[in-house]
Amino acid sequence: AAGGQAVANGDDVADWAGAGRIVRSAIDAFGRLDVVVNNAGFVRDRMFVSTSEEEWDAVVRGHLKGHFCVSRHATAHWRDRAKAGDKLDARIINTSSGAGLQGSIGQSAYSAAKAGIAALTLVQAAELRRYGITANAIAPAARTRMTETVFAEMMAKPTEGFDAMAPENVAPLVVWLGSPESRDVTGRVFEIAGGKLNVADGWHTGVGIDKGARFAASELGPIVQDLLRKATPPQKVYGS
Protein backbone atom coordinates (compact mmCIF):
# COMPACT_ATOMS: atom_id res chain seq x y z
CA ALA A 1 0.00 0.00 0.00
CA ALA A 2 2.95 2.31 0.61
CA GLY A 3 4.38 1.55 -2.80
CA GLY A 4 7.07 -0.90 -1.72
CA GLN A 5 7.92 -4.28 -3.16
CA ALA A 6 8.75 -7.50 -1.33
CA VAL A 7 9.72 -11.06 -2.05
CA ALA A 8 9.23 -13.96 0.37
CA ASN A 9 11.54 -16.89 1.07
CA GLY A 10 10.59 -19.71 3.45
CA ASP A 11 14.03 -21.24 3.93
CA ASP A 12 15.46 -22.03 7.38
CA VAL A 13 17.76 -19.21 8.54
CA ALA A 14 19.84 -21.67 10.57
CA ASP A 15 20.42 -24.01 7.62
CA TRP A 16 23.65 -23.06 5.83
CA ALA A 17 22.37 -23.68 2.31
CA GLY A 18 18.94 -22.26 3.12
CA ALA A 19 20.45 -19.04 4.47
CA GLY A 20 22.41 -18.72 1.26
CA ARG A 21 19.20 -19.02 -0.73
CA ILE A 22 17.58 -16.31 1.39
CA VAL A 23 20.38 -13.88 0.56
CA ARG A 24 20.38 -14.91 -3.08
CA SER A 25 16.62 -14.45 -3.40
CA ALA A 26 16.98 -10.80 -2.37
CA ILE A 27 19.83 -10.20 -4.80
CA ASP A 28 18.00 -11.95 -7.64
CA ALA A 29 14.79 -10.01 -7.00
CA PHE A 30 16.26 -6.52 -6.52
CA GLY A 31 19.72 -6.71 -8.06
CA ARG A 32 21.49 -5.72 -4.85
CA LEU A 33 21.59 -6.22 -1.09
CA ASP A 34 22.04 -3.32 1.31
CA VAL A 35 20.69 -4.32 4.73
CA VAL A 36 20.29 -7.57 6.67
CA VAL A 37 17.92 -7.60 9.63
CA ASN A 38 18.28 -10.78 11.67
CA ASN A 39 15.10 -11.20 13.69
CA ALA A 40 14.05 -14.85 13.51
CA GLY A 41 13.72 -16.78 16.75
CA PHE A 42 11.51 -18.62 19.22
CA VAL A 43 11.58 -19.67 22.88
CA ARG A 44 11.40 -22.88 24.85
CA ASP A 45 11.17 -21.31 28.29
CA ARG A 46 12.08 -23.60 31.16
CA MET A 47 14.08 -23.41 34.37
CA PHE A 48 17.70 -24.37 33.77
CA VAL A 49 17.52 -27.58 35.79
CA SER A 50 14.60 -28.72 33.63
CA THR A 51 15.95 -27.68 30.20
CA SER A 52 16.51 -30.59 27.83
CA GLU A 53 19.38 -30.90 25.38
CA GLU A 54 16.90 -30.75 22.50
CA GLU A 55 15.36 -27.51 23.78
CA TRP A 56 18.78 -25.93 24.31
CA ASP A 57 20.02 -26.91 20.86
CA ALA A 58 16.85 -25.72 19.13
CA VAL A 59 16.86 -22.27 20.73
CA VAL A 60 20.59 -21.64 20.28
CA ARG A 61 20.40 -22.90 16.70
CA GLY A 62 17.45 -20.72 15.76
CA HIS A 63 18.75 -17.51 17.28
CA LEU A 64 22.55 -17.63 17.27
CA LYS A 65 23.28 -19.90 14.32
CA GLY A 66 20.51 -18.24 12.34
CA HIS A 67 22.18 -14.86 12.83
CA PHE A 68 25.51 -16.36 11.77
CA CYS A 69 24.33 -18.13 8.63
CA VAL A 70 22.40 -15.28 7.01
CA SER A 71 25.01 -12.66 7.92
CA ARG A 72 27.86 -14.88 6.75
CA HIS A 73 26.38 -15.31 3.27
CA ALA A 74 25.57 -11.59 3.07
CA THR A 75 29.06 -10.52 4.08
CA ALA A 76 30.66 -12.88 1.58
CA HIS A 77 28.60 -11.18 -1.14
CA TRP A 78 29.52 -7.72 0.16
CA ARG A 79 33.22 -8.57 0.45
CA ASP A 80 33.26 -9.73 -3.16
CA ARG A 81 31.60 -6.47 -4.20
CA ALA A 82 34.16 -4.47 -2.22
CA LYS A 83 37.05 -6.35 -3.79
CA ALA A 84 35.53 -5.63 -7.20
CA GLY A 85 35.77 -1.92 -6.45
CA ASP A 86 32.23 -1.13 -5.27
CA LYS A 87 31.96 1.45 -2.48
CA LEU A 88 29.76 -0.26 0.10
CA ASP A 89 27.38 1.28 2.62
CA ALA A 90 25.89 -1.92 4.02
CA ARG A 91 24.19 -2.79 7.31
CA ILE A 92 23.76 -5.75 9.63
CA ILE A 93 21.07 -5.27 12.28
CA ASN A 94 20.92 -8.06 14.82
CA THR A 95 18.29 -8.75 17.47
CA SER A 96 19.55 -9.35 20.99
CA SER A 97 17.41 -8.97 24.12
CA GLY A 98 17.47 -7.63 27.64
CA ALA A 99 17.60 -11.31 28.58
CA GLY A 100 20.89 -11.57 26.72
CA LEU A 101 22.28 -8.44 28.37
CA GLN A 102 21.48 -9.33 31.96
CA GLY A 103 19.84 -12.77 31.99
CA SER A 104 16.24 -13.84 32.56
CA ILE A 105 14.99 -16.50 34.95
CA GLY A 106 13.45 -19.42 33.09
CA GLN A 107 15.21 -18.47 29.86
CA SER A 108 18.74 -19.85 30.09
CA ALA A 109 18.97 -21.01 26.46
CA TYR A 110 17.36 -17.85 25.11
CA SER A 111 19.51 -15.61 27.32
CA ALA A 112 22.70 -17.41 26.30
CA ALA A 113 21.83 -17.18 22.60
CA LYS A 114 20.96 -13.49 22.84
CA ALA A 115 24.16 -12.77 24.78
CA GLY A 116 26.06 -14.53 22.02
CA ILE A 117 24.35 -12.32 19.46
CA ALA A 118 25.44 -9.18 21.33
CA ALA A 119 29.05 -10.39 21.34
CA LEU A 120 28.82 -11.45 17.69
CA THR A 121 27.71 -7.91 16.83
CA LEU A 122 30.87 -6.47 18.41
CA VAL A 123 33.11 -8.78 16.40
CA GLN A 124 31.23 -8.16 13.16
CA ALA A 125 31.56 -4.40 13.66
CA ALA A 126 35.30 -4.63 14.30
CA GLU A 127 36.03 -6.95 11.38
CA LEU A 128 33.68 -5.61 8.70
CA ARG A 129 34.05 -1.86 8.98
CA ARG A 130 36.93 -1.84 6.49
CA TYR A 131 34.54 -3.12 3.82
CA GLY A 132 31.95 -0.41 4.50
CA ILE A 133 29.68 -2.67 6.57
CA THR A 134 28.31 -1.65 9.95
CA ALA A 135 26.86 -4.04 12.55
CA ASN A 136 24.56 -3.04 15.39
CA ALA A 137 22.00 -4.82 17.54
CA ILE A 138 18.68 -3.97 19.09
CA ALA A 139 17.34 -5.34 22.37
CA PRO A 140 13.62 -4.64 22.04
CA ALA A 141 10.70 -5.15 24.38
CA ALA A 142 7.45 -5.55 22.45
CA ARG A 143 4.37 -7.70 22.04
CA THR A 144 5.17 -10.71 19.86
CA ARG A 145 4.24 -14.37 19.74
CA MET A 146 7.26 -15.00 21.99
CA THR A 147 6.26 -12.53 24.70
CA GLU A 148 2.49 -12.11 24.75
CA THR A 149 1.93 -15.40 26.62
CA VAL A 150 4.96 -15.55 28.92
CA PHE A 151 4.65 -11.88 29.94
CA ALA A 152 0.91 -11.60 29.42
CA GLU A 153 0.27 -8.87 31.98
CA MET A 154 3.12 -6.63 30.84
CA MET A 155 2.33 -7.15 27.16
CA ALA A 156 -1.44 -6.63 27.39
CA LYS A 157 -2.73 -3.98 25.00
CA PRO A 158 -4.13 -0.98 26.88
CA THR A 159 -7.73 0.04 26.33
CA GLU A 160 -6.65 3.61 25.69
CA GLY A 161 -3.54 5.78 25.43
CA PHE A 162 -0.06 4.91 24.18
CA ASP A 163 0.50 1.22 23.47
CA ALA A 164 4.06 0.96 24.77
CA MET A 165 4.44 -2.70 23.82
CA ALA A 166 3.30 -2.37 20.21
CA PRO A 167 6.02 -3.83 17.94
CA GLU A 168 5.58 -0.83 15.63
CA ASN A 169 7.45 1.20 18.26
CA VAL A 170 10.64 -0.73 17.47
CA ALA A 171 10.49 -0.35 13.69
CA PRO A 172 11.71 3.29 13.44
CA LEU A 173 15.04 2.39 15.08
CA VAL A 174 15.53 -0.49 12.65
CA VAL A 175 14.75 1.83 9.74
CA TRP A 176 17.23 4.42 10.99
CA LEU A 177 19.98 1.84 11.58
CA GLY A 178 19.48 0.65 8.02
CA SER A 179 19.70 4.15 6.58
CA PRO A 180 22.69 6.15 5.29
CA GLU A 181 22.41 8.37 8.37
CA SER A 182 23.74 5.57 10.60
CA ARG A 183 26.93 4.92 8.63
CA ASP A 184 29.14 6.12 11.51
CA VAL A 185 27.38 4.00 14.14
CA THR A 186 28.66 0.46 14.55
CA GLY A 187 29.26 -2.08 17.31
CA ARG A 188 26.41 -0.77 19.46
CA VAL A 189 23.45 -2.41 21.19
CA PHE A 190 20.32 -0.31 21.64
CA GLU A 191 17.56 -1.13 24.10
CA ILE A 192 14.17 0.08 22.92
CA ALA A 193 10.72 -0.25 24.45
CA GLY A 194 7.77 2.00 23.71
CA GLY A 195 9.17 5.53 23.66
CA LYS A 196 12.32 4.63 25.61
CA LEU A 197 15.68 4.33 23.85
CA ASN A 198 18.92 3.46 25.65
CA VAL A 199 22.44 2.65 24.55
CA ALA A 200 23.37 -0.56 26.35
CA ASP A 201 26.55 -0.33 28.41
CA GLY A 202 28.15 -3.76 28.03
CA TRP A 203 30.90 -5.57 29.85
CA HIS A 204 33.88 -3.42 30.81
CA THR A 205 37.08 -4.26 32.65
CA GLY A 206 36.19 -3.00 36.11
CA VAL A 207 38.11 -2.33 39.31
CA GLY A 208 41.09 -4.59 39.81
CA ILE A 209 44.47 -5.19 41.38
CA ASP A 210 47.82 -6.24 39.93
CA LYS A 211 50.00 -8.10 42.41
CA GLY A 212 52.76 -8.58 39.88
CA ALA A 213 53.03 -12.22 40.87
CA ARG A 214 50.85 -15.32 41.12
CA PHE A 215 48.01 -15.19 43.62
CA ALA A 216 47.72 -17.84 46.30
CA ALA A 217 44.23 -19.25 46.67
CA SER A 218 44.38 -18.58 50.41
CA GLU A 219 44.82 -14.82 49.92
CA LEU A 220 42.09 -14.25 47.34
CA GLY A 221 39.12 -14.06 49.72
CA PRO A 222 39.87 -10.60 51.17
CA ILE A 223 41.07 -9.31 47.79
CA VAL A 224 37.90 -10.36 45.99
CA GLN A 225 35.68 -8.98 48.75
CA ASP A 226 37.49 -5.62 48.56
CA LEU A 227 37.11 -5.48 44.78
CA LEU A 228 33.40 -6.32 45.01
CA ARG A 229 32.88 -3.50 47.51
CA LYS A 230 34.41 -1.08 45.01
CA ALA A 231 32.72 -2.50 41.92
CA THR A 232 29.48 -1.22 40.39
CA PRO A 233 26.70 -3.66 41.38
CA PRO A 234 25.33 -5.62 38.39
CA GLN A 235 21.78 -5.14 37.21
CA LYS A 236 19.37 -7.74 38.49
CA VAL A 237 18.51 -10.74 36.36
CA TYR A 238 14.99 -10.36 34.95
CA GLY A 239 12.53 -12.11 37.21
CA SER A 240 14.79 -12.07 40.28
**Which residues are identified as catalytic?**
97, 110, 114
Distance of CA 7 to the CA centre of its chain: 24
DSSP 9: -
DSSP 176-213: HHTSGGGTT--S-EEEEETTEEEE-------S----SS
CA 15, CA 38: separation in Å to the nearest integer? 14
DSSP 21: H
The HSE-up count of residue 169 (CA atoms within 13 Å, CB side) is 18
Distance of CA 108 to the CA centre of its chain: 16
H or E stretch covering 128: helix 108-128
Total residues found in the chain within this entry: 240
CA 177, CA 134: separation in Å to the nearest integer? 9
DSSP 51: -
Q: Which amino acid is at 157?
A: K
